[in-house]
């Protein structure tokens, strides 16, 4: 069975998604490939590569973690912040009350952490 | 001869008038000469030789005594000189010993002072390090307490509205 590099597989997946193929179908194919080639443990890395390729082509996915659910104003604000030069920005939101307040945004290999938890942690370790 | 005998007889008669017997006189004179010759022959020479020998011995002894006295004098002078030199050297040695002892004491004092200073310096350094460590520890503990207290307060105070304001403000700063 033919085996491709992770980058090649990610490129094929990204191309198919951008071509408008249904995302569920593309992800199912990727999952089949990973199972066949016993690469399931590296699924996160494949997805990260796909996201990176999509971001290069103007389709940015941002992971946003906050202590409280975001409203539309904040979503728009975050999209403006991470979507400079991007065609579309998708947010993958997660609520974590341990953050107390603030937000953590990860996109394009960068991270913005304004959470109170991190600030307090920095205060604790600054001594 | 007769004339001489006459004269002798006249003289004898003259000496006899003085109470002297010329025969006896001649006899005694002869004895005297014999005794003198014997003494000269057997006694005087040995006696003179002995005396001469003793005189020489005495003179030698005197010379030796003089030499010995002179030698003694020289020896005494030399002894005095050596004693003076010894005293002088002893004084020098004592002075040098005093000087060296003073230098040793000074050196020991300097070393002791240096060591004491070093020990004090080390103790001060350790003290400063301990103080600094204690300060850091105190600061860390204080910050931890402040952070814990702040966290407790903020968990109660930060609601959705306050969080929204906080996030908006932070995003503005991040732009």
User: Domain boundaries in chain B?
Assistant: 2-174
Q: Report the pLDDT averaged over residues B156-169.
A: 88
Residue B138: closest C-alpha in chain A: A127
Please judge whether B168 and A78 are an interchain contact, meaning their C-beta atoms are less than 8 angstroms apart: no
Cα–Cα distance measured from residue B129 to residue B136, given in angstroms and rounded to the nearest whole number: 10
By Cβ distance, the residue of B147, B167, B175 closest to A103 is: B167
Q: What is the pLDDT of residue B40?
A: 86
Please judge whether B151 and A116 are an interchain contact, meaning their C-beta atoms are less than 8 angstroms apart: yes
Residue B151: closest C-alpha in chain A: A120
Cα–Cα distance measured from residue B74 to residue A28, given in angstroms and rounded to the nearest whole number: 134
Residue A62 and residue A90 in contact, taking contact as beta carbons nearer than 8 Å = yes
Q: What is the pLDDT of residue B156?
A: 83
Q: What is the pLDDT of residue B28?
A: 92
User: Given pLDDT bands bounded at 50, 70 and 90, which one contains residue A127?
Assistant: low
By Cβ distance, the residue of A81, A102, A120 closest to B175 is: A81
Strand partners, A107: A110
User: Given pLDDT bands bounded at 50, 70 and 90, which one contains residue B8?
Assistant: low
Q: What is the pLDDT of residue A56?
A: 86
Q: Which of B7-11, B16-20, B110-114 has the lowest mean pLDDT?
A: B7-11
Counted across chains A and B, CB pairs separated by less than 8 A come out at 77
Element (H, E) at A117: helix A116-126
Q: Report the pLDDT averaged over residues B160-168.
A: 89
B139 to chain A: which residues are within 8 Å by CB? 127
Residue A62 and residue A78 in contact, taking contact as beta carbons nearer than 8 Å = yes
User: Given pLDDT bands bounded at 50, 70 and 90, which one contains residue B16?
Assistant: low
**pLDDT tens figures, B50-88:** 899 999 999 999 999 999 999 999 999 999 999 999 999
DSSP letters spanning chain B: -HHHHHHHHHHHHHHHHHT--HHHHHHHHHHHHHHHHHIIIIIIHHHHHHHHHHHHHHHHHHHHHHHHHHHHHHHHHHHHHHHHHHHHHHHHHHHHHHHHHHHHHHHHHHHHHHHHHHHHHHHHHHHHHHHHHHHHHHHHHHHHHHHHHHHHHHHHH--HHHHHHHHHHHHHHH-
Cα–Cα distance measured from residue A84 to residue A74, given in angstroms and rounded to the nearest whole number: 16
Strand partners, B106: none
A117 to chain B: which residues are within 8 Å by CB? 151
Residue A100: closest C-alpha in chain B: B155
Q: What is the pLDDT of residue B5?
A: 59
**Strand ranges, E, within A8-119:** 59-66, 88-95, 103-107, 110-113
Q: Report the pLDDT averaged over residues A50-70.
A: 90
Does residue B3 carry a pLDDT above 90? no
**pLDDT tens figures, A5-24:** 888 999 999 999 888 889 89
Q: How far is A94 from chain B (nearest CA, A)?
A: 15
Please judge whether A120 and B150 are an interchain contact, meaning their C-beta atoms are less than 8 angstroms apart: yes
**pLDDT tens figures, B100-155:** 999 999 999 999 999 999 999 999 999 999 999 999 899 888 888 888 888 888 88
Q: How far is B159 from chain A (nearest CA, A)?
A: 8
Domains of chain A by residue range: 1-57, 59-127
Residue A83: closest C-alpha in chain B: B175
Provide the CA A82 distance to its chain's centre, in angstroms: 12
By Cβ distance, the residue of A68, A78, A81 closest to B163 is: A68
Q: What is the pLDDT of residue B62?
A: 92
Please judge whether A77 and B171 are an interchain contact, meaning their C-beta atoms are less than 8 angstroms apart: yes
Does residue B17 carry a pLDDT above 80? no
Residue A68: closest C-alpha in chain B: B160
Compare A102 and B9 and report the one with higher pLDDT. Answer: A102
User: Given pLDDT bands bounded at 50, 70 and 90, which one contains residue B2?
Assistant: low
First-to-last alpha carbon distance for chain A, in angstroms, is: 57
Q: Report the pLDDT averaged over residues A72-84.
A: 89
Q: What is the pLDDT of residue B113?
A: 95
B101: contact with A, CB 8 A cutoff:
no
User: Given pLDDT bands bounded at 50, 70 and 90, which one contains residue A1?
Assistant: low
Interface test with A, best of B158, B167, B168, B171 (most A CBs within 10 A): B167
Does residue B157 carry a pLDDT above 90? no
Q: What is the pLDDT of residue A57?
A: 87
């Amino acid at each position: 069975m033919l085996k491709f590099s992770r980058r090649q597989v990610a490129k094929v997946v990204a191309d198919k998604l951008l071509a408008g193929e249904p995302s569920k179908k593309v992800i199912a194919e990727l999952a089949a490939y990973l199972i066949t080639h016993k690469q399931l443990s590296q699924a996160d890395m494949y997805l990260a590569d796909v996201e990176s390729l999509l971001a290069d082509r103007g389709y940015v996915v941002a992971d946003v973690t906050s202590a409280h659910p975001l409203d539309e104003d904040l979503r728009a604000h975050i999209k403006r912040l991470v979507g400079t030069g991007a065609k579309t920005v998708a947010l993958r939101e997660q609520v974590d009350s341990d953050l107390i307040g603030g937000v953590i945004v990860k996109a394009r290999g960068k991270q913005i952490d304004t959470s109170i938890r991190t600030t307090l942690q920095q205060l604790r370790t600054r001594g | 001869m007769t004339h001489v005998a006459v004269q002798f007889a006249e003289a004898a008669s003259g000496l006899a008038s003085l109470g002297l017997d010329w025969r006896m006189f001649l006899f005694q004179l002869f004895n005297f000469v014999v005794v003198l010759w014997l003494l000269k022959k057997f006694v005087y020479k040995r006696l003179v030789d002995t005396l001469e020998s003793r005189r020489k011995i005495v003179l030698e002894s005197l010379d030796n005594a003089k030499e010995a006295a002179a030698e003694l004098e020289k020896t005494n002078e030399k002894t005095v000189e050596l004693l003076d030199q010894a005293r002088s050297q002893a004084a020098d040695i004592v002075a040098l010993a005093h000087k060296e002892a003073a230098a040793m004491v000074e050196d020991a004092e300097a070393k002791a002072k240096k060591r004491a200073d070093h020990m004090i310096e080390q103790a001060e350094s350790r003290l400063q390090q301990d103080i600094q460590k204690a300060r850091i520890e105190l600061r860390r503990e204080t910050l931890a307490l402040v952070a814990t207290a702040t966290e407790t307060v903020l968990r109660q105070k930060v609601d959705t509205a306050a969080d929204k304001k906080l996030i908006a403000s932070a995003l503005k700063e991040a732009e």
